[in-house]
Structure 1
Amino acid sequence: MTMTTVGQTVVCAFEALLPERGVAALLGDVQIALFRTHDDEVFAIGNQDPFSGANVMSRGIVGSRGDVPTVASPMFKQVFDLRTGACLDDPEVSLPVYPVEVVDGQVVVGPGDY
């Protein structure tokens, strides 16, 4: 059994995440979106699209702008930096980001505000 620090949550096995795809997870009362990029980095952001209010970011299109890993909202197509949550199309808008790491093959998120 893997021990985690207080406030951290084991969400899933790393291998359960498909490259360039997102999945949603519920941590407490907060929906997050997890993404595994083509180079096996894992990111966790808020799942709620700030422009539409819909919990759909996990269904977004994963890509990049230069060396910035991104996800495009499936609703209105705004693009967000997966590292910082910043909207690249409207710098005044951002998504919450959550610390995430892979420990013994498990995706661990937190601690966060969930």
Structure 2
Amino acid sequence: MTAWTSVCNLNDIAPDTGVCALFNGEQVAIFRWGNSDTVYAISNYDPLGDANVLSRGIIGSIGERPVVASPLYKQHFDLENGECLEKADVSVKRYTVRVDAGVVQLS
């Protein structure tokens, strides 16, 4: 059985933006795609900028890939798998996330 931890309400996240939550001692960037209940969760730590800033990045897409652009050096991280599009050898941790009855939960 999967244990889920509630981190915020979906309505706490403005459409097409991110927020940061503390989960198991790690900073997690949670992004809301448009005005939908589609959410993504990756590490908030930008390994190229060496700072916890990804939740403040701009989300969009490159082709069919949903991405966030780091606010520091503008490199793109795939929101589905954490891969850096500009540096194939760099990635960030991805978290399992869901929305249940309007509440964002991480596992």
Shared fold (TM-score, shorter chain, > 0.5): yes
The alignment yields a C-alpha RMSD, in angstroms, of 1.3
| Structure 1 stretch displaced more, 73-82 or 38-47 | 38-47
Which residue does 1:88 correspond to in 2? 85
Q: CA deviation at 1:78?
A: 0.5
Which residue does 1:61 correspond to in 2? 58
Q: CA deviation at 1:66?
A: 1.1
Which residue does 1:25 correspond to in 2? 21
CA distance in 2, matches of 1:106, 1:35: 13
Q: CA deviation at 1:28?
A: 2.5
After the TM superposition, which parts of structure 1 deviate over 3 Å for at least 4 consecutive aligned residues? none
Unaligned runs of 5+ in 2: none
Superposition map of 1:68-87 within 5 A: 68-87=65-84
TM-score relative to the length of structure 2: 0.93
Unaligned runs of 5+ in 1: none
* 1:65 to 1:39, Cα distance in 2 relative to 1, 3 A: farther
Q: What are the Cα deviations for residues 68-106 of structure 1, in whole angstroms up to 9, with x where unaligned?
A: 110000011110100000001111100100000001110
How many pairs does the alignment contain?
A: 106
CA distance in 1, matches of 2:6, 2:35: 21
Sequence identity (%): 46
Quick one: which amino acid aligns to residue 44 of structure 1?
A
